[in-house]
Amino acid sequence: MCGIVGYVGYRPVAELLLEGLHRLEYRGYDSAGIAVQYGNTIEVRKKAGRVSELAGLLKAQPLVGKIGIGHTRWATHGATTDQNSHPHVGGNGEVVIVHNGVIENYDILRRQLQTLGYVFRSQTDTEVVAHLLAHNLEEQTRLHGSPEDLDVCLKAVEVTLNLLKGTYGLGILFRDLPDTVIAARCGSPLVIGVGKDEYFLASDASPLVGYTKEVVYLSDNEVAVLRADALRIDHRSNGSVNVSVKTLEQVASDTDLGQYEHYMLKEIYEQPTTIENALRGRLDNEEATAVIGGLNLSAKDLRRIDRIVLTACGTSWHSGLVGEYVLEEFARMPTEVEYASELRYRNPPMSDRTLVFAITQSGETADTLAAMRECKRKGHPTLAICNVVGSTIAREADGGIYLHAGPEIGVASTKAFTSQVTVLTLLALYLGRMRHMSYPAGKRIIRQLRDMPEKISKALECHDKVREVADKYHHFNNFLYLGRLYNFPVALEGALKLKEISYIHAEGYPAAEMKHGPIALVDQQTPSVFVIPRGGIYPKVVSNMEEIRARRGPVIAIACEGDTDIARIADDVIYVPDVEEYLQPLVCAIPLQLLAYHVALLRGCNVDRPRNLAKSVTVE
């Protein structure tokens, strides 16, 4: 969730940290703050609200220095107040920290520290870590020397981390160690940017773009020491770590808004390109199959697999549902989709012939990572479908497939969903051709996949109509989203998008399930959005639509271009290109994304920073 930045080097640090927090604001925007060290003085500025509030405070109360840490918060413990904002100060100011994660035993530690005389000024779990560090620094200084000694400070860090239960990404400043930032990771991502006579620290790579092309990804249980002239990394159990420097592929234009008013709209319009990127180099016309490198499983290993489990959260879970349909249809592989938050605590019967795929945009989703680790622990091959190179899930999986969608900044996922669906379709083609799918069938699927970027561009032409529909319905407070087969997951995803950014209650259902209970919700104030492109059970969905109309419920239809019949039933129709049923989720997602976007704008909501949400859910 929360965003961390840090720097040590030769640049004025306050402006650099503030820019980094602006880039990380999609990870949390309840409050923000920075701490800057100058000699043996550490000064803190922090403010509830968006990073712009902090910027205003810094104009009035500037900070000078070339070493510092910063934080933008997504609240877990304590309300969104100035006092609960990070950074937090430990002891009498000898330690200042920023933290991403959740300390599960913070209450016990807090009570212990209170008996020792420590006074708490916030309700956060993070202040517990700050005071605990200060206490252990005092103890180590008494036993081993001076607080100006790096080894003494590192011993205090080690003792503190050994007492913590939960997850953390930490940035630490010691008052008497004026040239050093210390970072520690367990379950919450941290990346180090490598420069000339400078080092950067961040929760993800976005703040580093434009400053460096070389990065180091911290792994769990690693502690890093950042000084302007050196980087040192130690594993808490295994000692010194050889620093592995990676190349950062991201460029500044990836995170620029360009001509668009919001990141969400920009990312919706990037989908012809991102789908093309997902397909690039992965279609083998000669063999009528997909080319999927990186699975790290031989054809023999894959033929041995008799079951697939897809595990994910949120939007990625919806893409997994589409994947279930297409994998079972193309590859004839029994496939199940599990909420990662549930799978990590269950013990389902899974044989050694079960292949597990973790689906995630960020590669850092806490529940998905934990579920993948649990499956890996039990000996199942675990692969990832992921967007972020160098992320924890990408590094820990046995293999996988990258989306190549570029950074997704908008909190409500759009282009990642369609890229995930595209990659799952490629996987189904690959496994299908390996098993029983005919050569002509494979060729036909390849031709249709090659057409998809153009089809998505065509689908975006519905924008004006969607805006008109949004204007008509934005004042309603309840929506139903309905679809069948491949379009049931699309209905779920459409409802989620509306909930996320417009705060309207919306539910997705298989259209035929309406009569089994949810139809009781239908009235003149509850619009129903039907995802109803042409297909094998089109007449059945039309009948479901008629049931809604008979009860005077407003009906919005997402239908294939040229379908004039549907206009006689629906109050409003949004047309998309006519494609094969298994590709309909790609084109039908577009108007639903745009509908959520425009309804949110009309209701005065912040589409890129919806309340209570953050982009990457790195805490349980």
Report the catalytic residues. Answer: 2, 615
CB of 356 closer than 8 Å to CB of 380: yes
Q: Which of these, 416, 450, 417, 436, lies nearest to 329 by C-alpha position?
A: 436
Query: Residue 328 is encoded by which pair of tokens?
Result: 């079972």
Phi, psi of 558 (to 5 degrees): -100, 110
Rounded to the nearest 5 degrees, what angle is found at the Cα of 171, between the Cα atoms of 166 and 173? 130
Paired residues of 182 in beta bridges: 172, 225
Q: Which of these, 589, 438, 581, lies nearest to 508 by C-alpha position?
A: 589
Question: Do the bridges between strand 3-8 and strand 67-73 make them parallel or antiparallel, or are there none, so unpaired?
Answer: antiparallel
CB of 8 closer than 8 Å to CB of 179: yes
Q: What is the dihedral of CA 268, 272, 273, 276, to 10 degrees?
A: 140
Query: Residue 196 is encoded by which pair of tokens?
Result: 């000339």
CB of 610 closer than 8 Å to CB of 28: no
**What is the rounded CA–CA span in Å between residue 493 and residue 593?**
9
With H, G, I as helix, E, B as strand and everything else as coil, classify residue 436.
coil
Would you say how long the chain is, in residues?
620
**What is the rounded CA–CA span in Å between residue 350 and residue 362?**
26
With H, G, I as helix, E, B as strand and everything else as coil, classify residue 115.
helix
DSSP 90: E
**Residue 613 buriedness (CB in 10 A; 0-12 / 13-18 / 19+):** middle
